[in-house]
Structure 1
Amino acid sequence: MSAVVELPEPLDVIAVGAHPDDVEIACGGTLARLAEQGHKVGIIDLTDGEPTPNSPGPEARLEEARAAAAALGIHKRIVLQLSNRKLFDTYDNRLALAIELRRYRPKLVLGFGEKTPMASPDHWQAMQITDAAIFYARLTKWDDQFDNLPPHRIAAQLYYTLAFYSATPLGGAGHIISDISATLEKKLAAVRCYASQFAKEKAHVFDRVEAQARHMGEIAGFQAGELLVTPRTLGTRDLMGAIFGDVVVSPPSDAPM
């Protein structure tokens, strides 16, 4: 008989990145808004992002990540000890993330939605690891593979994008613009916490992040926004509420296992 595992307070939302700063750039405004709305929000970085050219070392990068999480109002940040620059979609890496998803039991997981050509290949690997871990988190009769943590079914998944250099939006079953008009400054403050990554010669990154947010917001009639993509078509039982109000739209339930 398996020992009973004591579980921490669950998180409502977890965003997964390959490195500290991925999530802040892609969907930091959304996470800050969710936190302001009372949701418990977490970030899981698969690696510590080290080594990088201008960072003095892992501890400095972790301190930047802690400061960025505080700027967004994040409740929990976890940095897994997977290998930066050598991140691959392996069974062990899938398990490492699935264990945390079982431990913190989120309703929603956000993660990478595409390759980033001419940027880190870790991003594409992180997408595959996240997709697999979401599936692994719910599997029964396999608890011994997950530190005897019980299965957890994640209700919804969304993809985010870092594709600043593409004129084609991220594809998927549906597009959502998340309103970050009230949290854009928190997003920018969080990105600025990564001084080791964005030295003076990379200061244009802040303008690019803000411009992207302004553009996405304009598409949906907001001052600022972030693009999120659902891999499954969403449905609503309240059409007028979904169009004109703040209601929850739910994905179709999974078929029986």
Structure 2
Amino acid sequence: MSYPLKVLVVKAHPDEAEMYAGGTTRRLADRGVAVKYLSLTNGDAGHYKMEREPLKRRRAREAYAAARHLGVVDYEILDIHDGELMPDLAVRTAVISSIRRWQADIVITFHDDCPGHLDNRAAGRAVRDASDFCTNGNICPEVPPLAQAPICLKMIDYGALNVHKHDIVIDVGTSIEAKLRACAAHATQFFEFTPHERGVISEAPQTGDWPAERAFILKYWPEFMYSLPAMSGGFEFAESFELADYGRRTSAEEVLKLFAL
């Protein structure tokens, strides 16, 4: 099948692409773009009660369910422990291989140089380091190199709120319901682990009560659901991306033209 564009979102944990870029990737999928999510860890530390092995399996099921809401074509989860991600040679090789196999035109990932979760920073660093080798056939020779380096974008997360540049702002008002349902599919994170960490577990809705689930996510994750004040455009729901200083050189105008949203 021929696609107008191929996008790869590389994150550290199974729920993050949905939260930080789900609205944009759903809009892209709706116009025929092939979107893949790559999680560099299996998320097996993200709970206050479940042990690693059953949690890993449950989070994978949640991820695949979320993908259906967003039109994501492929969802790859590396079997690396949550909390133990390092931007080492093995991870870099896995990222190079994934970018090449997907033949990604655009790669979206985290900032690698700001506060926040160490796994998130390591994921961003792995993409930064991998980007220079995507066209070099002597590196990872088992996977054919790309003809040109992909464009790389940084997505926001809680640690990047104060450093992120809103170079590209996407109105996700038409895809916010799909994004919220994809987030809700990650019940371990949105209705169990994070509410427990924040001390609001008593307010968490019963799974399956969609109006209550929707309201709960909008209440406790507003900075990633509603448009931030720093964004331009006046959109109620928006997602923001920063042009990376690595990968193929480009401009916000070119990216918006490629997105065609």
Q: Tell me which interval the TM-score lies in, with the shorter structure as reference length.
A: 0.7 to 0.9
Corresponding position of 1:45: 39
Provide the secondary structure at the position in 2 that maps to 1:227: strand
Match for residue 244 of structure 2?
Answer: 231
List aligned pairs for 1:19-98, cutoff 5 A. Answer: 19-53=13-47, 54-55=49-50, 56-98=54-96
Q: Check the 8 A contact 1:43/1:76 in 2, yes or no.
A: yes
In structure 1, the partner of 2:184 is: 192
Q: Which structure features the higher share of helix residues?
A: 2
Give the distance between the partners of 1:149 and 1:132, measured in 2 at CA.
17
> Is the contact between residue 28 and residue 187 of structure 1 (CA under 8 Å) also seen in structure 2?
yes
Aligned-partner residue type, residue 257 of structure 2? V
Instruction: Give a deviation string over 1:76-120, Cα, whole Å, max 9, x none.
Output: 111112232111110111001111111111100000024564x53
RMSD of aligned alpha carbons: 2.8
Q: Which residue type is aligned with residue 30 of structure 2?
A: E
Cα deviation code 1:31-68 (max 9, x no counterpart): 11100111011100111110322444211110001011
Q: 1:170 aligns with which of 145, 160, 164?
A: 164
Which of these residues, 247, 252, 255, is aligned with residue 257 of structure 2?
Answer: 247
Percent identity of equivalent pairs: 25
Moved more, 121-130 or 226-235: 226-235
How far did 1:208 drift?
3.9
Render the CA deviation track for 1:156-195: whole Å, top value 9, x for unaligned.
11100112784x3514xx6111111100111111111111
Cα separation, partners in 2 of 1:36 and 1:219, compared to 1, 3 Å: same
Code of the aligned partner of 1:133:
A
Q: Which residue of 2 aligns with 1:183?
A: 175
Q: What is the CA distance between 1:248 and its match in structure 2?
A: 3.7
Aligned partner (choices 204, 210, 219) of residue 207 of structure 1: 219
2:232 aligns to what SS in structure 1? helix
Which stretch shifts more, 49-58 or 72-81?
49-58
Other-structure match for 1:5: none
Name the amino acid aligned to 2:120.
H
Quote the Cα distance in structure 2 between the aligned partners of 1:154 and 1:138. Answer: 6
Q: Tell me whether 1:159 sits opposite 2:172 in the alignment.
A: no
Q: Are the aligned partners of 1:116 and 1:123 in contact in 2 as well (CA < 8 Å)?
A: no
Judge conservation of contact 2:10–2:109 (CA < 8 Å) in 1. yes
Indicate the residue corresponding to 1:15 in structure 2: 9
Taking the aligned partners of 2:107 and 2:152, their CA distance within structure 1 comes to 5
Deviation at residue 235 of structure 1 after TM alignment: 6.5
Report the number of matched residues.
Answer: 228
Aligned partner of 1:97: which letter? V
Report the secondary structure of 2:79's partner residue. strand
Whole-angstrom distance in 2 between the partners of 1:47 and 1:18:
6
Structure 2 length as normaliser, TM-score? 0.77
Distance 1:229 1:186, change over 3 A: same
Mark the CA change 1:47 to 1:97 in structure 2 (over 3 Å): closer, same or farther.
same
Give, as a single letter, the amino acid of the residue that structure 1 aligns with 2:175: T
Distance 2:217 2:6 in 1: 30
Which runs of 5 or more residues in structure 2 are unaligned? 205-215
Residue 136 of structure 2: aligned partner = 139
Unaligned runs of 5+ in 1: 1-7, 250-257
TM-score, normalised by the number of residues in structure 1: 0.78
